Structure formats: C-alpha cells, structure tokens
Amino acid sequence: MSIKPESRATPKFDKDLITILLEAFPEGVIGLDLETTGLSPLVDKIIEISAVKLTPGGISYFDQLIDPKCVIPQKTIDIHGIQNSMVEGHPKISEVLPSFFEFTDGLPLIAHNAQFDLGFLVFNIHQAGLKADNHQVYCSCKYARSSLKNRKSYKLSALASELGVNLENHHRALDDSIAGLEVFGHSLRERKMRDEKLNLGSCRIFQLSDFSSPENLELPKNIEPMIPHVAEQELVVMKYKGGTFKNKWRPIQPIALLPLPSGNILYAKCLISEMYKSFALSKIKEWRLPNSEDEVETLTNTRRGELI
C-alpha cells in the first residue's frame, strides 16, 4: 500500500539529506513508526503502522490504521489522538503485515527508539505465523546521541525542532517515520562534516531474523500478574538472580515488557542507580508491590549504602 501523504505530512528531504542517506544505504532505506495501545510489545497492540521508503528511484509511503480488537486506553488516546471509532473496521495487523513487508522489500529499517517499535513488529510477525525477513534495524535516537553532541533532549520532537525538521503531527506514525528518517540524515551529515566515519554499527540493534523462536516471546507465568502494574508504571520491588544486588529486594519503576533476541526483558528505571536498565524476565526471581513508600525509601537508601 503506497500513498501520498498530502495533508498529514509534508516531507522536506533536501538533496543533501537524500545524498547522505543513500551514501549510507545505497539500495535504499525505510523510516518506520508505530502508534500503539501502550509501551509493551509483549502485551499491547499496534493501532497504526506507517513508513517512508527512500531509494535511488524516489520516495514512497505506507500508511495504515489498524483495528486492535480491544479498547484503546484514554491515556494513549491523549498522546496520539487516535480514537476507538477511528480504527473500527480497519484491518487487523496480521492482515496488513504481508503488504507492509512487500513495501519494505528487505531494506534497512530506521525508527526512533527502535527497540520499542520493532519489538511490536517482531511479536506480531510471530503471532501471525510469518517469517521474519533479514531487515537490519537501526535506531535514530541512539545514532543522534553519538552524532549530535550536547543536545538538551534526544526526543524526536526536540531534535526535529532544533534541526528544522517538519513535524506538525507528532505521535502520528507517518509524520514520525518521516521525521525520524530526516533526523538520521542530519546525524549522518554531522558526522561527515566532522570527517568522522559514519559508523552505522553503533546504532544497529538487531535484525528481524534474529528472533527465530516464537516460543521465546511468551511471558513467564510469574510475570503475567505484573502486566497492569507495568502499564501504569507503578513502583514494584523485586529479587533478581544477577547483578550487584543478587537475590536482594530492590525497588524499580517498570516501563515496558520487550522482546530481544537474547530473551524477553523488563525495561525499568532502577531507583538505586536512577538509571534505565534491562532485566531478563527469566532472572526475575520474585516481585511484589511495596508495602509502603517508606519501604521503597529504606530499600533505596540501604542498597545505595551497600555500594559505598
């Protein structure tokens, strides 16, 4: 499905951006974005899938709303503006993926915070019983961090504003896919202006065919009750089989349940280090809600004290 984005997005790829993107990806490249019912690919649903394809032959687009067959939470409607009535009657993601992969034609995929978007894609590929192609996946956010130095924020909207990238409809998939590809082009150009190697390996996160075993995408039974708490990003305490605080209670703020080639993870903020980390689901020994705010504070301070 190829469309012309007349009203929702007005791409302004200048010749320099096109040249540098095709220098990095001579056969072509895809900018991709999804809108979803939540942040966890292992639980939540895709409601919009869009892409811009840049090749030596020109620019083309893919844009499709998806019926998730569930109610879209109001908190995500407040972000992207996609109402339940807007997706009703549109095809399911399993019906759209074959035409989407015909459109992408094996080319490299670029997304902002790609681990999230491509996690959704990987999960739905296997749910639909499809074979994952050998698409290489790159993250425009990760590349911007290494190429565009000393920016206040590496969120797509902030980078677009700084770089003069048109982003009128942020959090709609087509607009974000175009902006993400343009940001990647600016990152490439910045490296070239500094006479640095393009170093694409620094932002490659995986290829779709790395996910070879569908059974690896299933949630462990002990993690299933955590799902609503992850959705609300509620504080939990857990015992983990590895790391500095092995088998000790530690407080975390869950963000998302994600698939990776090495296994499913809980992406969460560790309150001890105040850093975002990936915890293998297979290594989460126990978890529970904290008894009180005081317990969270005590655990945090105790564990920090153990680091001294």
Q: What is the pLDDT of residues 286-307, one digit of tens each?
A: 999 999 999 999 999 999 998 8
Is-above-0.95 flag for pTM? no
Residues 147 and 270 in one domain: no
Residues 70 and 205 in one domain: yes
Smallest CA-to-CA distance from 30 within 131, 173, 212, 144 is with: 173
Which of 182, 210, 238 is a domain's end point?
210
Lateral strand order in the sheet of 29-36: 58-65, 46-55, 29-36, 109-111, 136-139, 204-207
Any domain includes 121? yes
Strand partners of residue 249? 239
Q: Is residue 6's pLDDT more than 80?
A: no
Any domain includes 286? yes
Residues 188 and 251 in one domain: no
Any domain includes 63? yes
Distance CA 114, CA 203 (A): 10
Task: Collect all residues with Cβ–Cβ distance below 8 Å to 106 and sequence separation of at least 6.
Answer: 133, 134, 135
Residues 77 and 202 in one domain: yes
| Per-residue pLDDT at 7 | 41
**DSSP tag of 215:** G
Tell me, what CATH number does 268's domain have? 2.30.30
Using a pLDDT cut of 70, give the percent of the chain over it: 94
| Per-residue pLDDT at 269 | 97
Read off the pLDDT band of 168 (50, 70, 90): confident
Residues 125 and 202 in one domain: yes
Average pLDDT value over all residues in the chain: 92
Reading the block at residue 112, the tokens are 């902002």
Any domain includes 3? no
Any domain includes 58? yes
Report the length, in residues, of the chain: 308
Which of 187, 210, 233 is a domain's end point?
210
Residues 107 and 63 in one domain: yes
| Per-residue pLDDT at 217 | 82
Q: Is residue 38's pLDDT more than 70?
A: yes
* Angle between helical axes of 114-127 and 93-104 (0-180°, round to 10): 120
Question: Which range marks the domain in which residue 83 is found?
Answer: 15-210
Residues 192 and 240 in one domain: no
Reading the block at residue 284, the tokens are 């989460």
Q: Is residue 237's pLDDT more than 60?
A: yes
Residues 25 and 169 in one domain: yes
Quick one: CA dihedral 163, 147, 18, 175, positive or negative? Answer: negative
Q: Total domain count for the chain? A: 2
Q: Is residue 87's pLDDT more than 90?
A: yes
Read off the pLDDT band of 3 (50, 70, 90): low
Which of 161, 179, 210 is a domain's end point?
210
How big, in percent rounded to 5, are the helix, strand and coil portions of the chain? Answer: 40, 20, 40
